[in-house]
Chain A
Amino acid sequence: MNWHAIKAIYIFEMARTWRTLAQSIISPVLSTSLYFVVFGAAIGSRIEEVEGVSYGAFIVPGLIMLSLLTQAVSNASFGIYFPKFIGTIYELLSAPVSFLEIVIGYVGAAATKAFIIGMIILGTAGFFVDLRIEHPFVMALFLVLTCISFSLLGFIIGIWAKNFEQLQLVPLLVITPMVFLGGSFYSVAMLPPVWQTVTYFNPVLYLISGFRWSFYEVSDVNVWLSLGFIFIFLFACLGVIWWIFKTGYQIRS
């Protein structure tokens, strides 16, 4: 293993985070605060409690997931897409690094950043509502696994993307709707039966449900199902990465 290379990529990517600090951190904090104002205050005054949890507190796990997923995907995809776009990928390709090391460096940095943002949002949420975390370890586990697996997804998107539209389309058209429709701001039980069935096909539901369980012990689906799901997703991403590695898809001609 070329640990120096992994470290170099990781530091390089994290440096990008610090450089774009405002964009990286202030914007999720701001948007979270806005969500609290709009959803928490406006809607929360009508829906007082969901399954015994105040509405404001109920939406916290979903809000964190919303930022986490979009940040992990967009960071990891941009991280590997940008060198392809400006041509600096030549250096990665001519360096004594394996694809695995490249993945660890980029995905590690994107996941770290997403994790930090998740924690910041959690902190921000603490200003607006009374938070209760019943199972902090489970919460941290969900957080870490989600950061890693969605950074892997982002990396795959970054390798696949041929232009900036494609790069931005996936988070915009796939991730955001899935999070919104995956029970971030409501309990599935609040939906009409047909939509409940549809929602169970949304993978993000399992994430949010399990994550929310670690806070309040309320969930739409069994927490083990949630954990199982995230592992399946993680391995699916690793499988695709392994395939890219084997075939050299879109990296080396």
Chain B
Amino acid sequence: MSAIIRVSNVSKIYEGGFTALKDVSLQIREGEILALLGPNGAGKTTLISTICGITLPTSGTIDVGGFDSQKDFRGARSLIGLVPQELTIEPFETVMNTVSFSRGLFGKSHDAAVIEKILRSLSLWDKKDSQIRTLSGGMKRRVLIAKALSHEPRILFLDEPSAGVDVELRKDMWEVVKSLAAEGVTIILTTHYIEEAEEMADRVGVINKGEILLVEEKADLMRKLGQKELQIELQEPVLALPESLASYDLTIEDDGNKLRYAYETTGNRTGITALLADLAAAGMRLKDIETRQSSLEEIFVGLVKEKA
């Protein structure tokens, strides 16, 4: 698939001298959902702001749909919709007016049908004449999403979309994201909630201290870097491990009723066969066994530690 955004060797040094992005290169494919995962202060918002034109890169170039983000800023920016991290929104306007304003700002003529469809999809239609300041935080975030979608962008950025968001909005939001993705809209979301990346994304990029550590297909990433665990339930509890099992990475759990064995799926030998044989030799009888894939969270913590 072709890249719709090409970030090439972008660095960003803020006025105070702080380096928020270090030589970042990233290609975002048309139509994908990319999750940018990283702890607070990693540079996620800075990267988005640089792509959207809110801040200028100190060096490097960004290409959006064939337009240079600085030389052809009109072409580049008209493709993008941005839902910012903070609830920054004009308090005294009505929902309808502020969404129409956004559409105009992005160079599109007024289209009542499009705005209605967007407002309905975000359950904002019956609030269309309310002043924004009268809305709850969750509703305000819906309005920000509606504003970002008002000009029917081909690329949508969601900066920490689920920060401080209730369950219902989260559900609605993912519905909207999924239907946009189905229409071919490219979606980039940043998050430090791993479940979100895990649940939504096609690909995951991990960013820390202004550097992209890796970008992988979500499934590949989990397979490649994933540790697996084997959970063994015993017939009779054990208090201590016999000598013959000392060489395995085993932990006793649940008052000796369970053993947990961690292994790398990437290695050729998982050691499972040997372990099971040695367990039998030690006279332990098994009630049940279960394997578990480690979550992105664990992968992520591992990655960040590795780089530090």
Q: Are A248 and B107 in contact (CB under 8 A)?
A: no
* Stretch of A3-11, A41-49, A184-192, A236-244 at the chain-chain interface: A3-11
Instruction: Tell me if B248 counts as interface (CB < 8 A to partner A).
Output: no
Quote the shortest CB–CB distance from A249 to chain B (angstroms): 12
Q: Which of B14, B56, B73, B92 contacts A96 (CB 8 A)?
A: B73
- The answer to whether A11 and B92 touch (CB under 8 A), given A96-B74, A96-B107, is no
Q: Point out the residues of chain A lying under 8 angstroms from B100, CB to CB.
A: 8
Q: Point out the residues of chain A lying under 8 angstroms from B134, CB to CB.
A: none
Q: Are A95 and B77 in contact (CB under 8 A)?
A: yes
Q: Which of A4, A8, A86, A252 contacts B88 (CB 8 A)?
A: A86
Q: Are B90 and A88 in contact (CB under 8 A)?
A: yes
Q: Point out the residues of chain A lying under 8 angstroms from B90, CB to CB.
A: 83, 86, 88
Produce 1/0 per residue, B39-71, CB < 8 A to A.
000000000010011111000000000000000
- How many contacts A-B (CB < 8 Å)? 85
Chain B residue at minimum C-beta to C-beta distance from A252: B56
* Stretch of A12-20, A124-132, A166-174 at the chain-chain interface: A12-20
Whole-angstrom CA separation of A98 from B84 in the bound complex: 21
Whole-angstrom CA separation of A182 from B49 in the bound complex: 47
Chain B residue at minimum C-beta to C-beta distance from A5: B105
Whole-angstrom CA separation of A97 from B151 in the bound complex: 14
Q: Are B86 and A97 in contact (CB under 8 A)?
A: no
Instruction: Tell me if A165 counts as interface (CB < 8 A to partner B).
Output: no
Q: Are B101 and A93 in contact (CB under 8 A)?
A: no
Quote the shortest CB–CB distance from A30 to chain B (angstroms): 23
Q: Which of B62-118 contact A (CB under 8 A)?
A: 73-78, 80, 82, 84, 86, 88-93, 97, 100-109
With an 8 Å Cβ cutoff, the count of chain A residues facing the other chain is 27
Chain A residue at minimum C-beta to C-beta distance from B82: A94
Instruction: Tell me if A253 counts as interface (CB < 8 A to partner B).
Output: yes
Instruction: Tell me if B147 counts as interface (CB < 8 A to partner A).
Output: yes
Produce 1/0 per residue, A193-214, CB < 8 A to B.
0000000000000000000000
Produce 1/0 per residue, A92-135, CB < 8 A to B.
11111110000000000000000000000000000000000000
Chain B residue at minimum C-beta to C-beta distance from A93: B54
Q: Are B15 and A8 in contact (CB under 8 A)?
A: no
Q: Which of A4, A12, A19 contacts B108 (CB 8 A)?
A: A4
Chain A residue at minimum C-beta to C-beta distance from B81: A94
Chain A residue at minimum C-beta to C-beta distance from B12: A253
Q: Which of A11, A19, A88, A95 contacts B106 (CB 8 A)?
A: A95
Q: Are B105 and A16 in contact (CB under 8 A)?
A: no
Q: Are B53 and A94 in contact (CB under 8 A)?
A: yes
Q: Point out the residues of chain B lying under 8 angstroms from A12, CB to CB.
A: 93, 97, 101
Q: Point out the residues of chain B lying under 8 angstroms from A98, CB to CB.
A: 74
Whole-angstrom CA separation of A200 from B231 in the bound complex: 92
Instruction: Tell me if A2 counts as interface (CB < 8 A to partner B).
Output: yes
Instruction: Tell me if A90 counts as interface (CB < 8 A to partner B).
Output: yes
Q: Point out the residues of chain A lying under 8 angstroms from B104, CB to CB.
A: 4-5, 7-9, 11
Q: Which residues of A contact B (CB under 8 A)?
A: 2, 4-5, 7-9, 11-12, 15-16, 19, 83, 86-88, 90-98, 248, 252-253
* 8 residue pairs from A and B, CB less than 8 Å apart: A4-B106, A5-B106, A7-B104, A8-B100, A88-B90, A90-B88, A91-B82, A93-B54
**Closest A-B pairs by Cβ, 9 of them:** A8-B104, A87-B88, A96-B74, A94-B52, A96-B77, A95-B105, A96-B78, A93-B54, A4-B104
